[in-house]
Structure 1
């Protein structure tokens, strides 16, 4: 049985939730959460590390006890301590944690005050108006809970892209090892770079016959075989992810890849274009009568329809075919275009590595500049910096820059936007920084008007540089706050400041729609990792994926500029 990082991390997060619901020691809860984050951000599979005899206690936040539990989960799929804790807290209670907006503290309140033990009981209590009577809830929260419950029932389960990647990559590598198999590709929403994945679609080139599908259903992580034929098979993995395999001949590969990549709306327009030319397009090829005129490659199909190849990230039926016809497809930004990162943390607040360690990791990635933007004082749980500590960090950065070559460390802060729109630190300190990254970390449920005005007032601050994670969402855990994003984007244009595309896979904020909106309004976006560890710098690829889905070119991204160019662009947002 193969157990992947995401599954071990999920087990640790569940343990932390269960402990918090029960009122356990906060340090113990935090240890599990810290370890879960380490595992999610780990580029190597922890199972492979154990197999090689590597010491897990060298990982951030992993001591002997947690290392032992990791090994136990890897070998058995669970840990005795977690099973014991599950028995103490009913399974129906833990289901409440999957409802966006309900964390362990709120679940604890619901279970203790209203004796709620399941989503159905919560729905009934909310419909009867009992939830709003609890401290820290209110009528608006009650309505949000009802909406979240309804959405949860309506939606099919999906997993975050970062979780799906190791499963997809491992399956592709597994199938490529089979003799006679040509190309293997993950298609569908995965290939289009969506934030979350439903079913995983795999396409393989091979002669007709059962060996490929036989090997597929024999994969060691398969839990259930849902279908098994000569060219099609479908399985459910131990993680719950459904994977569908199609085996196609080489001459149909391009057409099949196009068809199974989607989206449906994109494919509908392509079929209409084919019909206008007297052709028929399907997963087997592009045909004139019974004669295949294209299909071995995607490029051949697009060309036969009078179009250039369209990147998968754009295939959402949002004007990409019209842009292709007119020769106006964007030249999408790529990962190697990034020259720097403008949002990162150290262990001075809630990061895991020192200033020096983060700087060295950024230098090794080839970045020209790297901004340290630890949290400001209001975020007490993150040990936010007050003026004195921030000024000391600025001196530390100056000393570090004097020793570095090939990279410049920028002095910044992730400052809280207070409810009244003011910033969390005084002007005489903010004015000494290279940039100010501002963020909403509280009062997410303000009305649309109040939330928008709050942020716009903050953007009027003379030292404001970048709005971090502009919608505040956490995918699958917290809905975006209600804000007029078009007004925010136009305010950024007026102020000549910038918005962030936060690359953390749980945020991916801005959305692709808002990225494109910013591009059309002429507002530059910064693709930042929001790194809390050296490993988090790897998340830049997720931010670039989001930028590409938002039609962004290199010129649309602030931190594709050289250091000299960046300084010129940042200067108008600051007044010494």
Structure 2
């Protein structure tokens, strides 16, 4: 795993940024900034330069301390000093320094006063008019920050996971037909089940790479060939998705899979642990004194570090390595663990399947129960149900359940949470249902405090079972509304209700970090499809991927329960 000058420069620049956020000595900060610039512009890769016998201290501006850190980065791929600094700040806060017009002092103020940690949160704060109230900002500054944050957030083009899957999995199937292929997998952020992907990494195990590369570039969806060699190639598909191919020998396949799956932070920590044991890990294997001692499987790589194999979804350097060392990794929920789905629509509102059709599709998907949760009357564009129409649907579901086999329909509603926290239908009507799914569909502009209080009041209503898509985000279309999820999660625990992980690929809401927060607080999460058509139950796999990223086990997911046990839990939420 080569370490390039750009990698070293990036480490030093991040150290400088974090020191600036600490308000550290300006001369110390400047030393790292200058070192980053020097290294990035150095005419030869430092790894090769050192191996040729040159001294790092001979580089202008590089003293003993910085030279030591460069050697550490070259040997391990990481820097302990940077890891220590990172522990003092939220992940990714240095991205705020990339937004034009923001320096360390302003970032510190935004973080301390408004809890702004990411460019997305900065954009929301500017749109909400909260920045102008801070000392030293004002309306003009806020407008400039809004423009800069909008441009920054919008600059990175990423594709929703489900959309990328349609292209990537078809290509993978095509590649498996190449002569000599032993195994093939999509690695990278795709394998880690991130919500969006920037490009696709395909890893193939084969003794000879030539036939695989030839077949890869000959795929009929290829728009442009960017590069092609004996063991690697890169193309852009007609969809605009870039796909990079790497072919490795079978004895290196596991090590390459660890490397190309990532994340970068996870891999850096593995390399640091290896270095402490006198080992080297790269994409070709694990080596001791130049001899490969592991690498054919991922498990063999982790075993050399005395770690359990880590599921790809957890590889984000968020405690998974320590858990693997202690044999304490969670037994993550699987798609087959789901017994039912607790959020679906029919033609009664904005769905595209009748009650009968949705029931049949859910049964075909292997589910034992399905909650029918139409929109309430406030969502007029979806022809939401009023009390009278809901009553008729309740009766229709009861009649249909008398005839169904292998599937049970639950009577529910996706009721709107109004701006004052009231629900869109009377308690006496809601009390006839098996469950009530509350959702925010309007007034996204409310302040953090107002939005949080609105949801808390709704959760305290006599009939409230599940909070749907809790942050309201639509990937690449609408940002999350500003809400205090820690308060929401803790209130759900006190109230005895549940949170939804909406599996729709444009939502994937809860966030993975909020899933883990719910798990830690003992709040059950419903992984639901929000199906609007019979074919939509397939999206549950993306919800499970998000749940796994949030460390959820089978017992942490509400709808892994058998129907009898589920009914008891839902009954506890219906106090009307």
- TM-score (norm: length of structure 1): 0.74
Cα distance 1:156–1:453, how it changes in 2: closer, same or farther (>3 A)?
A: same
For residues 487-515 of structure 1, give each alpha carbon's deviation from its aligned partner in whole angstroms, at most 9, with x where no partner exists: 00000000000000000000000010100
* Consecutive aligned runs of 4 or more in structure 1 exceeding 3 Å deviation: 138-145
Quote how far apart the aligned CAs of 1:228 are.
Answer: 1.3
Structure 1 residue 276 corresponds to structure 2 residue 276: yes
Counterpart residue number, 1:102: none
Quote how far apart the aligned CAs of 1:216 are.
Answer: 1.4
Counterpart residue number, 2:46: none
Counterpart residue number, 1:335: 335
Q: How many residues align?
A: 442
Aligned pairs for 1:143-182 (under 5 A) are: 146=147, 149-153=150-154, 155-182=155-182
Quote how far apart the aligned CAs of 1:150 are.
Answer: 2.1
Counterpart residue number, 2:4: none
Structure 1 counterpart SS, 2:572: helix
**In the aligned structure 2, how far is the partner of 1:145 from the partner of 1:444?**
17
Structure 1 residue 485 corresponds to structure 2 residue 473: no
Aligned pairs for 1:347-362 (under 5 A) are: 347-362=347-362
Structure 1 counterpart SS, 2:182: coil
For residues 71-118 of structure 1, give each alpha carbon's deviation from its aligned partner in whole angstroms, at most 9, with x where no partner exists: xxxxxxxxxxxxxxxxxxxxxxxxxxxxxxxxxxxxxxxxxxxxxxxx
Quote how far apart the aligned CAs of 1:326 are.
Answer: 1.1
Quote how far apart the aligned CAs of 1:148 are.
Answer: 5.5
Structure 1 counterpart SS, 2:244: strand
**In the aligned structure 1, how far is the partner of 2:230 from the partner of 2:409?**
57
Q: Structure 1, unaligned stretches of length 5 or more?
A: 1-122, 130-137
For residues 220-270 of structure 1, give each alpha carbon's deviation from its aligned partner in whole angstroms, at most 9, with x where no partner exists: 111111111111211111111111111111110000010000000000111
Structure 1 counterpart SS, 2:350: coil
**In the aligned structure 2, how far is the partner of 1:293 from the partner of 1:152?**
44
Cα distance 1:143–1:355, how it changes in 2: closer, same or farther (>3 A)?
A: farther
Counterpart residue number, 1:74: none
Counterpart residue number, 1:529: 529
**In the aligned structure 2, how far is the partner of 1:203 from the partner of 1:419?**
50
Counterpart residue number, 1:12: none
**In the aligned structure 2, how far is the partner of 1:433 from the partner of 1:259?**
50
Structure with greater Cα Rg: 2
**In the aligned structure 2, how far is the partner of 1:575 from the partner of 1:209?**
64
Cα distance 1:140–1:502, how it changes in 2: closer, same or farther (>3 A)?
A: farther
For residues 516-544 of structure 1, give each alpha carbon's deviation from its aligned partner in whole angstroms, at most 9, with x where no partner exists: 01000110000000100111111111111
**In the aligned structure 2, how far is the partner of 1:318 from the partner of 1:268?**
13
Larger deviation: 533-542 or 467-476?
533-542
Counterpart residue number, 2:552: 552
Aligned pairs for 1:420-569 (under 5 A) are: 420-569=420-569
Structure 1 counterpart SS, 2:421: coil
Structure 2 counterpart SS, 1:226: strand
**In the aligned structure 2, how far is the partner of 1:202 from the partner of 1:505?**
22
**In the aligned structure 2, how far is the partner of 1:143 from the partner of 1:416?**
35
Computed over aligned residues only, the root mean square deviation of the Cα atoms, in angstroms, reads: 2.1
Counterpart residue number, 2:236: 236
For residues 179-229 of structure 1, give each alpha carbon's deviation from its aligned partner in whole angstroms, at most 9, with x where no partner exists: 112111110001111110111001111224532222212221111111111
For residues 271-319 of structure 1, give each alpha carbon's deviation from its aligned partner in whole angstroms, at most 9, with x where no partner exists: 1111111100000100001110000010111111111111000000000
Cα distance 1:367–1:212, how it changes in 2: closer, same or farther (>3 A)?
A: closer
Aligned pairs for 1:355-370 (under 5 A) are: 355-370=355-370
Structure 1 residue 303 corresponds to structure 2 residue 300: no
Cα distance 1:569–1:140, how it changes in 2: closer, same or farther (>3 A)?
A: farther
| Preserved CA contact (<8 Å) 2:180 2:208 | no
Counterpart residue number, 1:247: 247
**In the aligned structure 2, how far is the partner of 1:156 from the partner of 1:363?**
40
Counterpart residue number, 2:406: 406
Counterpart residue number, 2:267: 267
- TM-score (norm: length of structure 2): 0.74
Counterpart residue number, 2:319: 319
Cα distance 1:395–1:148, how it changes in 2: closer, same or farther (>3 A)?
A: farther
Aligned pairs for 1:385-404 (under 5 A) are: 385-404=385-404
Quote how far apart the aligned CAs of 1:389 are.
Answer: 0.3
